[in-house]
Chains A and B, each alone.
Chain A
Amino acid sequence: GAVVSQHPSRVICKSGTSVKIECRSLDFQATTMFWYRQFPKQSLMLMATSNEGSKATYEQGVEKDKFLINHASLTLSTLTVTSAHPEDSSFYICSAAGRDTEAFFGQGTRLTVV
């Protein structure tokens, strides 16, 4: 199957700093990328959807100024958690999909804000 690479897999940062997470589709063109957040023992919560070259569409309740998403090319999307706080600690997962194809997931990033 297609490969989606997410980096870093784990990051610890200090409260107030910003963290950038990268998501790359390695062998296909991802027209759409999705960013999810997952709390322990819960399902994936969609945060935002981004199409290449356009602004991301955020789900209700997700702060767009806090979670900056950039989808500058068909193979790369980034999520930046700005001014991170301990409550932002979570498991963040990206997913990439081509047009009318199944979605493939990255391995996830475990963010811990101390």
Chain B
Amino acid sequence: QKEVEQDPGPLSVPEGAIVSLNCTYSNSAFQYFMWYRQYSRKGPELLMYTYSSGNKEDGRFTAQVDKSSKYISLFIRDSQPSDSATYLCAMKYGAQKLVFGQGTRLTINP
């Protein structure tokens, strides 16, 4: 079993839809949870960074962490074609290395 599981998709939704991206994990030691967006042939860009259970909102993006279920989510409201990218969840504890999910390819159709 992988430490972090993420559905690779691809996921295709119409413009304006609410997108839900999810990851599950098995290591209860993880403390820090991140979502990255990666456009083709570019390095990942940090979108959200949380270290506790609950919700964190930033503009159209909401990150949700449920440590009891070992489950994290990223919601994108009012999705735009420019949101089309691969979204990677990542997590770590302390100064340890990041563990990434496989990444979900998302396409927002105009």
Contact = CB atoms under 8 A, between A and B. Distances in A.
Contacts of A31: 95
B86 to A, nearest CB: 8
Identify whether the interface residues of A are mostly helix, strand, loop, or mixed.
strand
Most buried by A among B43, B45, B92: B43
Interface in B83-110: 88, 90, 92, 94-95, 97-98, 100-103, 105
List of 9 A-B pairs having minimum Cβ-Cβ separation, nearest first: A105-B43, A108-B43, A102-B49, A107-B43, A43-B103, A105-B44, A43-B102, A93-B43, A106-B43
Contacts, number: 51
Contacts of B43: 4, 6, 93, 105-108
Interface residues of A, number: 26
Contacts of A4: 43
